[in-house]
Chain A
Amino acid sequence: MWVTASNFDEIVGIYVPLRVIILITLVAASLSGKAATTVYQKPSEFIRSVCGGKIPTTRTINLTSSQQSRIRRLMGHEYRPSRVRYWMHGSRMVVILEEIGKTQPITTGFVVRGGKIELVKMLIYRETIGAEVRRTSFTNQFKGASIDSNGKLSRRINNIAGATLSTRAFREMGRLAVYLDQIRPK
């Protein structure tokens, strides 16, 4: 229908409720709340769940400057802590890592055995969007992954649309977890 002087009021008559709907939608969008921290599993519960119901003795890796620079190459940026805590259950190493997704850290639990990732679980998510990375369809891609001489994960990790930064953070943590297993005191 073309807008002419004669039918304009009719068209505006249709537009009025639409205008109200748009206004309400925009106001609702403006008033929508901020994302909150979601704890999917406490780190202590994760450690217990993969270590036979109790938290083993805490061990640490004191990172040397050469290890720090290797980690910088693996992650593509500085890694702040110079001491990393981990737990052993048999030959499995359990480590809790944090990496920034977009603006907030994602807390993730890793289980590594023999230089290969055995289990990945997202524990705490603080970003607004991208929490899809906690799905097992995504985290299962890391199973069996190790790192090659170039520092790349041996398995291809497919992106999740809309969660690119969280996916990248997981890849970085995956590389770090495997590297920590390589350098931990045996």
Chain B
Amino acid sequence: MTEERPRRKSRRRAPRRWHRLLGAVFALPLLWLTVSGLLLQHQDTLGMDRKTVKSGWLLKLYDQIPDSVPLVTPAGRFEVAGWGGMLFLDDRVLEEGGLLVGAVARPAELVIATPSDLFVYDAQGNYLDRLGEESLPAVPIERIGFDESNRVHLLSSAGHHVLGEGLLDYEEVADGSAVTWSVVEEGVEQKEELKNVLVGTSEFTWARVITDLHSGSLFGKVGRFLVDVTGIAVILLTLLGVRLLAKRS
């Protein structure tokens, strides 16, 4: 009987101990959720849906700035770059994307090749046209080049083809014709410049960052898991609190 007493006492105090422990452990995550929730609630007033993120490391966290080395190639008066699936024309991010295979400049057009598409721009760099797999001899495209008549040549698994004048058709070319192939090189020097372009043109708003901070997505799977656990902790704290209240009354 006397041995039972301390054990009973300990069992009676267990909910209080758990309540205290959970409260201490989850105080910080709860504070994080509350503050980010308040910020979200007033994002319009605070202008967070208009203010864009200009922080390089934060954009890197969102994979907006790739880790790899960009690929660059000159094409007439343009410099074309490909970095992390994005395409750049001089200091402009293009809406079109893909891995850069090469680029060639014709008298009034610029043609950028990715494995699956050719993108055509005018002399000012305005978007004109896209040649998808339905307009190409085969995909993936391996190389792009031009000849002395400024005709566009393509190398793919289907062989060597030359595109017609308006890029509307193509025909097979016998080997040995003189073609200047576009050469893509690693642009270590251009990396910083392109990074600045991405930071300058970032459309990432602070509202997005705070939303992801609130949901934990900013820190990936670990962050989301932590928010899930915090949610469960709140449920447990409530239940334990009700139990303690019931016991006291």
Contacts and interface: CB of A to CB of B under 8 A. Distances in A.
B129 A60 contact: yes
Q: Which of B15, B135, B225, B247 has the most CB of A within 10 A?
A: B135
B239 to A, nearest CB: 7
B134 A81 contact: no
A60 B168 CA distance: 8
B240 to A, nearest CB: 9
A183 interface: no
A34 interface: no
Interface string A51-67: 00001011110000000
Chain B interface mostly: helix
A80 to B, nearest CB: 5
A111 interface: no
B166 interface: yes
A5 B243 contact: yes
B127 A43 contact: no
Interface residues of A, number: 29
Interface stretch (A25-33, A127-135, A137-145): A25-33
A160 interface: no
Interface residues of B, number: 30
Contacts of A5: 243, 246-247
B224 interface: yes
B134 A47 contact: yes
A82 interface: yes
Given A22-B232, A43-B132, A81 B166 contact: no
B246 to A, nearest CB: 5
B125 to A, nearest CB: 13
B113 interface: no
Contacts of B228: 23, 26-27, 30
Contact of A42 (B127, B134, B135): B134
B247 A30 contact: no
A166 B126 CA distance: 27
Contacts of A4: 246
A15 B232 CA distance: 12
Nearest to B249: A5
26 contacts: A3-B239, A5-B243, A8-B239, A8-B246, A19-B235, A19-B236, A22-B232, A23-B228, A26-B228, A26-B231, A30-B224, A42-B133, A43-B133, A43-B134, A44-B133, A46-B134, A47-B134, A55-B134, A57-B168, A58-B168, A60-B166, A60-B168, A80-B95, A81-B130, A82-B127, A83-B129
